[in-house]
Amino acid sequence: MPSTPTLTLLSSGPAGVLLQQILVRLTLLPVAVAALIGLLRYRQLAPSLRPLAVGIGAFLLPLGLLGLVLLVLHRNNLFIIPLYSIGELWMLALVYDRALQSPTFTRLWPWLVGGFAAYALLDSWLEAGFATFRPSQQVMQSILVLGLVALYFRKLLSELRVARLMQEPMVWVSTGLLIYFLGYLQIALYSNYLLRYSLQLNMNVWAVHSWLFIVLYGFYSRALWLTPPK
């Protein structure tokens, strides 16, 4: 996942201000809310949303909790980031495979996710043994997810079958992903430069990331709460 703020803000240490620390702890709350909604409404969900509900509740939330525990214990949790990113991309590929219903995409997405997984694990292992933040992985993941969103909106505009966009769950999912990953892509691209330029500015930027993360899971929760159109 992108990574959660509980992972990316580990290195802030004592220089972090109270607001950032509060945001770090609050970011798991919307994840837990989305997981609960997905659990309660699983049988009513459209097929495309079921991988989202399972992925959030069974994978992303536990990893986020693990990252928070390690953060509180002042232990390095950056090794979780590539695992989180791979799992999140796999989850979203399943979501969009069912939403797009494209035989070509069905054939290609396991190779795309598998290739990203191999790259992320190898890149993390070669660079300080999973102990550092690797922005290149986040840039690649952001581009891939934005590509999924673009494919969905292209299908939506070409078919024009959705009469009420605000009642379409996948529109909420895709809009949330678009907002989050456009912002996260900029953060990942310039994170190393910002850290060298100003620690405080870097912290402020990651605080923005926390808000983007909360917005994303707010959109997820809305999508999981909606009754699928018939």
Q: How many residues does the chain have?
A: 230
**Which H or E run contains 15?**
none
Cβ count near 138 (within 10 Å)? 25
Residues whose CB falls within 8 Å of the CB of residue 154, separated by 6 or more in sequence, listed in order: none
Q: Where do the domains of the chain lie?
A: 5-225
* Residue 12's pLDDT band (cuts 50, 70, 90): very low
- Lowest-confidence segment of 46-60, 90-104, 179-193 by average pLDDT: 179-193
Tokens of 160: 């024009």
The angle, 0 to 180 degrees and rounded to 10, between the axes of the packed helices 135-159 and 103-126 is 170
Average pLDDT value over all residues in the chain: 86
| Distance of alpha carbon 184 from the chain centroid | 9
